Amino acid sequence: MERCGRSLELAANGKKVALVSGGDPGIYAMAGLVYEMARDKAVDCEIEVIPGIAAVNGCAARLGAPLMHDFAAISLSDLLTPWEIIEKRLKAAAAADFVVAIYNPKSKKRVKQIAAAQNIFLEYRDQNTPVGVVTAATRHNEKIRVTTLAKMLEEDIGMQSTVIIGNSQTFVWQDKMITPRGYSDKYALK
Amino acid sequence: MERCGRSLELAANGKKVALVSGGDPGIYAMAGLVYEMARDKAVDCEIEVIPGIAAVNGCAARLGAPLMHDFAAISLSDLLTPWEIIEKRLKAAAAADFVVAIYNPKSKKRVKQIAAAQNIFLEYRDQNTPVGVVTAATRHNEKIRVTTLAKMLEEDIGMQSTVIIGNSQTFVWQDKMITPRGYSDKYALK
């Protein structure tokens, strides 16, 4: 918020300002805050968002191709969102067979939500559904794990992790997580 | 499929091959097909996916910041997916207040699905919910429109379009579409 405020202040004074954000500024990141602050402070300047590689893009790539079909991104952080809404979304996404990318799965103080999410998915999906856990994607301490819905909590999940839960069609091949492009076999290759 | 097959053939013969895909190869694109074909043809080679800017990233950036909260991506193409599943996902995403990015909204032959999607969302969301239509993002013929759920079908929607439907919190400011980061006002800036 401090960086956003300072950037807008400089821009309002006629400077060209580049505000740097990790990942894609438009996905759970800083672009929205810039617009919200600009509106609230009535700052009149042109704002351009340059897209980037979000965790959902980067982590999917490291796991193989888990997002080839319809997917949802859900943050488990209940700091700004009531848990009831998060829970509703988890149930909706699980029931409608979306591949789901879970952001903010766990922090030191917030550990129950990921277990609750697992339980919700276990109601709708096979316990052997592939699950990928990517921590610190592409960084020196990167960790990539392909596991299952039943065993996902055995993995090290933290602040830098994104968890991707496959849909009913997702399979594992050579330790990669792959979701086919459809439900029919029209695309069969033989 | 021809390019995928040829790439795998070259790789199987020991070549390093770069297969180029538009957008992010991992999001409704070619990465999954490469893995599926490699598995089906039992090709033994190392495959690395390099993530890119998917339509969902690029179109969101052009619209402002519509994806700052939980979102879902849904393709309306029923070529490989039964319409019943697509419909179920539209309803689930609409009911659980996800921002939704609609891929493949319409083609010359396939025109009913986007109207069906609009009707589903109108059951759950206000008719003034902001909707963004981005066609040919960042290309010479780019077209960006911010409209409403009620009026979205008046826009030119085609093969190169992505439609982003806001959630209950999304607002329009200076013709940009912005979704706040949460539901509370804990982040209020004053």
- Give the ipTM of the model, two decimals please: 0.95
pLDDT tens column, B86-131: 999 999 999 999 999 999 999 999 999 999 999 999 999 999 999 9
Which of A41, A57, A171, A190 to mutate to probe the B interface, most B CBs <10 Å? A57
Residue B176 main-chain phi, psi, to 5 deg: -110, 150
- Average pLDDT across chain B, whole number: 94
pLDDT tens column, B132-180: 999 999 899 999 999 999 999 999 999 999 999 999 999 999 999 999 9
Query: Residue A74's beta-bridge partner residues?
Result: A102
The reported pLDDT for the residue numbered A183 is 78
CB contact under 8 A, A26 and B61: yes
- Average pLDDT across chain A, whole number: 94
Q: In the predicted model, is pLDDT for residue A186 greater than 90?
A: no
The reported pLDDT for the residue numbered A182 is 82
Q: In the predicted model, is pLDDT for residue B188 greater than 60?
A: no
Q: What is the rounded (10 degree) CA torsion for A30, A36, A41, A42?
A: 120
CB contact under 8 A, B1 and A189: yes
The reported pLDDT for the residue numbered B161 is 97
SS (HEC) of chain B: CHHHHHHHHHHHCCCCCCCCCCCCCCCCCCHHHHHHHHHHCCCCCCCCCCCCCCHHHHHHHHHEECCCCCEEEEECCCCCCCHHHHHHHHHHHHHCCCEEEEECCCCCCCCHHHHHHHHHHHHHCCCCCEEEEEECCCCCCCEEEEEECCCHHHCCCCCCEEEEECCCCCEEECCEEECCCCCCCCCCCC
Considering the entire predicted model, what is its pTM? 0.95
Choose the closest CB to A28 out of B1, B32, B68. B68
Which chain A positions have a beta carbon within 8 Å of B190's beta carbon? 40
When pLDDT is cut at 50, 70 and 90, the band that residue B185 belongs to is: low
Which chain A positions have a beta carbon within 8 Å of B53's beta carbon? 51-53, 57
In the block, residue with structure tokens 């659980």: B96
When pLDDT is cut at 50, 70 and 90, the band that residue A190 belongs to is: very low
Which chain A positions have a beta carbon within 8 Å of B41's beta carbon? 189
Residue type, A16: K
Q: Give the angle subtended at the CA of B49 by the CAs of A187 and A27, to the nearest 5°.
A: 100
pLDDT tens column, B49-73: 999 999 999 999 999 999 999 999 9
Q: How far apart are CA B20 and CA B50, in angstroms?
A: 10
